[in-house]
Structure 1
Amino acid sequence: MAGYQSVNPNHEGDQHLIAAAHHVLKLLGAIRNLSDDTRKLLADLDIHLSIMTGNTVNNGGEAIEVEKRLKCAERMVLRWQANQSMIWDTGPGEVSEFLGAIDEVQTLIDSFSGVSVNENGRVRELLYRANNIVQMAMLRLQEELIHILVHHKLYFEPEYVSFHSCREDVIYDESFVSLEDESVEASQRVSNTGSVSGEYIVDLIHPQVVPDLKAIANAMIAANYDQEFCAAFIGARQDALNEYFFVILELEKFSIDDVLKMKWSTLSSEIKKWNWAMKIIIRVYLTSEKQLCNKILGRFDTVCSLCFVEIAKATFLCLLNFGEAVAMGSTQPEKLFCLLDMYEVLDDLLLEIDSLLFEEAGSYIRIEFHELLRKLGHSARQAFQELQKAIAADSSMKPLPRGGIHPLTRYVMNYIKTLTIYDDTLNLLFEDQNMEDTHSIVESETEQDISPITFCPLACHLRSITSALECSLVVKSRLYREDSLRHIFLMNNIHYVVQKIKGSDLRIFFGDEWIRKHIGKFQQHATSYQRATWCSVLSFLRDDGHCSNSVLKTSYKERCREFTNAFEDVYKIQTQWCITDPQLKEDLRISTSLKVIHAYRTFIGRNRISDKHIKYTVDDLEKLLLDFFEGTWRTLRNSRRR
């Protein structure tokens, strides 16, 4: 009822109007069976009329009535000031009386809003007294507010949040040489892109006290004590969030410098915890906190927004600072998967963040969130590019023993196989980068082989990575002194690459034409191996046709002996060489056996070499060829001697 102005009591028209109003109020007050609220309303109107005419300066009935009502309210407030128990713990009756006393005083204060206190000493005295009562009451409400918030807070267990994923957890070592195939199919991985099971909203305060908190908020804000309410409310809820963050979730607060100095094993573990905490804190806790603020402060949009942002700000910035530090750190290839996980977590939460912080008060945090997403994307691109550099920089000075699968080959193929899990994210990050090999692929593939996925940004980058690997393998093959072993090494490694691509989701990114081309490559190395190894050995079995019969007989015997010696030399060496794929090993053995056994059988039969001059029969030779490429040193079996 604020806004009334004091009028000139000497103005004849005003005097008649006010007198008539007083008369009407008295007649209404004389009616029986009026409710207490109605009688209080009539009394308030009578006081307003008195204040408008300045009659309260005279020690009339209206002034006495105002003072009487102030004293009654004051007694109620002072009684609780000396009482150590909490009002809201005593029952609804006491709460109603206390809030009623505040409302009573506030009504009287509003009645003085149009009166000049400088001109009316009696009004000034009553107003001062009323404001003191309100101040005492507000201090008490702050205590009650904090007590309710602290003693009725609720927490949900982290297990409430269930993240589901079909991904596997791949931990890459920092070096190229320690990765085995089995590590890719090893442990189950915690999801970073799964969804929260169940409802996102939980009770962070016991529901039965929410109306009490709302009543306190209404009383304090109505009395223009919104800043004091916000300070108490924000402080208590910040403490609750900190307790959940540091105690329940067992998270730590790291400075940027702390993160930059972390060992990789520690950092990767903390990143997993960060991914998990981000979804719990934002998707469940802060979403529920926002709902709580709306329930209590829904009438006061600005206050509600301010409180929520201030409650969440410290935790938001703590999480964002950790992400910022990770994005600032080094970008080794091993870090890519963690960066992609963090990127996907933020991208997945983007809608929630924009919804939680859509007001102006939260714009700073919202902008920082989007900026961190951009920085993580940039760091992920850099880490991917570092892989290609690392492949080229891996200049081993010693050849891999036995010509088997190089650890670099295993590492790169397992690495890019895992990247297909992140295909959507990587295509998004690489969408502005064009690869040079796109046009050559279009020209080389037939129309039925063409798939849109084969030309997506990720596919182009994956082919670029394998191209760099092939170049590195060619360089490494030159470390072998034997041409034959050089071809075995390249055959093994290219075959491994092809099999990895054929047997995984990589196939749709590389395309059938790429696979056919590289099958031809390792088959060509198999052919080159046979030529480099067996041409010289089988040369002893060729008939030149220019010698006499006697000389030829001697020559055949000698050539058979020289062939045997040459074969034994090859046997001693190549049984130690390794072909890891059973089918590839079997195919090469069969192909080699066809050539060698056919030439040996033909030579012996055509030239009628006596058994006494033959160290190994055809059957012996066939069995010895089965020992090739096992990767272990073997002694020659006892042969049938003549």
Structure 2
Amino acid sequence: MGGYEAELPAKNAEGDLIAAAQHIVAALGTKKLLSQDERKILVDLRAQLTTMTMVDDPKTVNESIIKGVSETEQYLSVISDKIMNRVSDESMIWDSGPEDVSEYLKAVDEARALTERFESLCLSKDDEEVELLRKAHDVLQTAMARLEQEFEHIIVQHSQPFEPEHMSFRSSEGDGAVGSPYSLDDDPLEDSLQRESVGKNLEDFIVDLVHPDVIPDLKCIANLMLVSNYDRECSRAFVNSRKHALSRCLFALEVEPLSIDDVLKMEWASLDSQIKRWVWAFKIFVRGYLASEKRLSDEIFGGFGSLSDLCFTDLSKAAFMQMLSFGDAVAVSPRQPEKLFRVLDMYEVLVQLQPDINSLYTDKAVRDEFCEVLRRLGDAVRATFLEFKNAIATNASVNPFAGGGTHHLTKYVMNYLRLLTDYRDTLNQILEDAERDESLSPSAESVAFTDEPNQLDGSFAPMTFHFRSMTSALIANIDEKSKLYRDVALQHFFLMNNVHYMAQKVKNSELRDIFGDDWIKRHNGKFQQQAMNYERATWSSILSLLRDDGIQNSGSNSSTKNILKERLRNFYAAFEEVYRNQTGWLIKDSQLQEDLRISTSLKVIQAYRTFVGRHSNEISDKYIKYTADDLENHILDLFSGSQRSLNNIYRK
């Protein structure tokens, strides 16, 4: 019984081994693909079997132990020869065909399995075992170095260009320097105030940066290197092989590495062009190139935890930070009103791309820097917006504006505000976020510029408050400029022109939604009041000559005729003076020009006809210099901006 009990475990162990082997064979018969763990186990099993001999009886056990080290060393030598023969050949293995690739991969996998076997068994300090392990590591390291070369070679040879210049969503403003569209010297925004494209219609445009046919080969190499604990070498090979492609992309996007000093030294026309190109390029770089690069990294390293993210970050971080640095440089540069639209373009692009950046990068440093640049651009928008309001208030003139027409400042400000309506949501959000900022809260200065009822009751959006504050500042400035005219009538004429221009700009543009109809109504009343003030200042004293005051009690008929003759002479002289001066005054708006001519004509012609008709018996025709029709035609010449003189000969 004792002998039977001692022998039973050995027989059971042998039966279990056979059953397990049969189970493995059956399982393999139903599989077409192996997982990485399954493959590793089978490779380890094969390596272990090569170090074992068939045991028929207990005597062979001792013999196998004695022979084990020498046979394993021989097996390692065979694997080493296979690898070294292939490594010594300068031709690339993956260019030689699938048989060579398969043979080399098999040899490398055997070297890996054998090395792991040695590491698990080499627990003693036996010099012979340690030396054998060192040799195995050397063989594996040589094999991995060649795989690293092959990996880089495949990526480089099968890389496909990223060509942003051929993308259909390219902005039409992408190439070509354009001067500043925001100059007080002219009215460049007058006729074509349309927001330039910042690529809002750009869709994700992910392309294959490496030909899809070689992705399985790259994954195979990566898998083998990673299970061999050569992940650092593999990721280095990936980054090195893609750096040139990244440089080519930046070159194609024409993105220059500019420092803060470079930006500060640039003329506005050049900086304007650089910003427009950056806005276009940054969106393509993120949603096109970086997204494509991230997909490539995921395809190769996606099954190995965070390695894909690390490879992508190592490759792209420096270039991405370079792109961000330009935005940072613009954000901290001096606040100038002409920059506001460009800074808003940059801000909007970063807001649009923030979800993309969070998806692409797990690196907190990258995300934090992105958010910091976004914050600084928002601060720049707010500060520049305030600077614009201050610029309106402090814009000074030494000489009166020729012709009393619409001042360049008025055109500039209203067109500036109209252009800002394209950024309504963005600007409202930025201003709303800054309401807690003391510098943007309703200050004494802003209240002084404000003549709007209920302006500060909180019922308006931030843009409405600030826009109304700016127009109030503009009217106050225009009022100061009007005082440069000596002629009181021209002061009112100048104010009428400018307030009318403001009201029409709001009424006939997107500004209407921001200012509201009540604002338009009140400012229509303001320019109409100025028109009435102009008429009184110009014509009241002249029309008083056509009244009968002092004529009825003049005494003799001869005295009455002399008074009438003198009244007409003075009236004609005053009318000619108005004609000579006010034909040089300008109303550019045709409707306002016609309305004021008609209003003037009704008052002057009616008074003249009445006066001449009432005294037709006392006034000889030779003293009638102009008929009512003549005067009416002359009034139609007023406000044309071209000074004229009437013929100074009495009508015969």
TM-score (norm 1): 0.88
Residue 487 (structure 1) aligns with: 492
Any conservation in 1 of the 2:392–2:473 contact (CA below 8 Å)? yes
The residue correspondences of 1:108-507 to structure 2 (distance < 5 A) are 108-116=114-122, 118-159=124-165, 161-163=167-169, 172-173=180-181, 175-185=183-193, 190-197=196-203, 199-246=204-251, 248-357=252-361, 359=362, 362-431=363-432, 432-433=434-435, 435=442, 443=454, 455-507=460-512
For 1:427 and 1:631, locate their aligned partners in 2 and report how far apart those are by CA, in whole Å.
Answer: 41
> Which blocks of at least 5 consecutive residues in structure 1 are unaligned?
1-11
CA contact (8 A) 1:163 1:192 kept: no
What is residue 641 of structure 2 aligned with on the other side?
631
Number of the residue aligned with 1:5: none
The separation in 2 between residues aligned to 1:123 and 1:572, in whole angstroms, is 116
CA pair 203-534 structure 1, distance change in 2 beyond 3 A: same
User: Following TM superposition, by how much is the alpha carbon of 1:546 offset from its aligned partner in structure 2, in angstroms?
Assistant: 2.8
1:576 corresponds to 2:604: no
The 1:430–1:74 alpha-carbon spacing in structure 2 relative to 1, beyond 3 Å, is same
Task: Give the C-alpha shift of residue 182 in structure 1.
Answer: 3.8
Q: 1:607 aligns with which of 612, 615, 618?
A: 615
How far off its partner does 1:335 sit?
0.2
Any idea what the Cα deviations from partners look like across 1:241-263, whole Å, max 9, x if unmatched? Answer: 112112x2222211222122111
- The one-character-per-residue Cα deviations of 1:434-479 (angstroms, maximum 9, x if unpaired) are 557799857599xxxx9x9x82111111111111110010000000
Q: Secondary structure at the match of 2:121?
A: coil
Q: State the distance in 2 between where 1:65 and 1:34 align.
A: 31
- The amino acid that maps onto 1:151 is Q
Output one character per residue of 1:590-635: Cα deviation in whole Å (capped at 9) or x when no partner: 1111111111111111122221111111121111111111111213
State whether structure 2 residue 556 is matched by structure 1 residue 549: yes
When residues 164 and 127 of structure 1 are mapped into structure 2, their CA distance, relative to the original with a 3 A threshold, is: closer
1:276-305 Cα deviation digits (max 9, x unpaired):
111111111111111111111112122222
Q: Per the alignment, in what secondary structure is the counterpart of residue 578 of structure 1?
A: coil
Q: Of residues 77, 81, 102 in structure 2, which corresponds to 1:75?
A: 81
CA 33–181 in structure 1, closer or farther in 2 if over 3 Å, else same: closer
1:162: how far off? 4.1
Distance 1:13 1:157, change over 3 A: farther
**2:450–2:468 CA contact under 8 A, matched in 1:** no
List per-residue Cα deviations over 1:497-523 (Å, max 9, x = no partner). 111111101011111111111111111
Q: Is the contact between residue 163 and residue 194 of structure 1 (CA under 8 Å) also seen in structure 2?
A: no
Query: What residue number does 2:542 align with?
Result: 537
SS at match of 2:272: helix
Kindly, what percent of the aligned residue pairs are identical? 45
| TM-aligned CA distance change 1:508 to 1:480, over 3 Å | same
Distance 1:330 1:35, change over 3 A: closer
Q: How far did residue 637 of structure 1 move?
A: 4.4
Is the contact between residue 617 and residue 640 of structure 1 (CA under 8 Å) also seen in structure 2? Answer: no
Q: Residue type matched to 2:348 in 1?
A: E
User: How many residues end up aligned between the 2 structures?
Assistant: 614
Instruction: Assess if the C-alpha contact under 8 Å between 1:25 and 1:42 holds in 2.
Output: no
Q: Distance in 2 between matches of 1:541 and 1:159?
A: 75
Q: Given the superposition, is the C-alpha separation of residues 265 and 113 from structure 1 closer, same or farther in structure 2, using an over 3 Å criterion?
A: same
CA-CA distance at 1:48 after TM superposition = 6.6
Change (3 A) 1:232 1:39: closer
In 2: Cα distance, 1:374 partner to 1:533 partner: 55
Residue type of the partner of 1:201?
Answer: I
1:514 correspondence with 2:519: yes
Please, which moves more after superposition, 472-481 or 107-116? Answer: 107-116
- Which one-letter code corresponds to 2:421 in the other structure? T
Q: For residues 207 and 56 of structure 1, what CA distance do their matches in structure 2 show?
A: 54
Residue 34 of structure 1: how far off its partner (Å): 14
Match for residue 594 of structure 1? 602
Between the aligned partners of 2:340 and 2:169, the Cα distance in structure 1 is 21
Question: Does the 8 Å contact 1:46/1:62 carry over to 2?
Answer: no
Q: Distance in 2 between matches of 1:162 and 1:442?
A: 50
Corresponding letter in the other structure for 1:520: G
Contact 1:616 / 1:639 at 8 angstroms: preserved in 2?
A: no
Whether contact under 8 Å (2:272, 2:342) holds in the other structure is: yes
Kept in 2, the 8 Å contact 1:537–1:563? The answer is yes
Secondary structure at 1:474 match in 2: helix
Distance 1:542 1:260 in 2: 68
Contact kept in structure 1, 2:182 and 2:189, CA below 8 Å: no
Counterparts of 1:39 and 1:408, CA distance in 2: 82
| Residues 111 and 523 (structure 1), Cα distance of their counterparts in 2 relative to 1, 3 Å cut | same
Matched residue type, 2:591:
Q
Instruction: Give TM-score scaled by structure 2 length.
Output: 0.87
Contact 2:190 2:411 in 1 (8 A): no
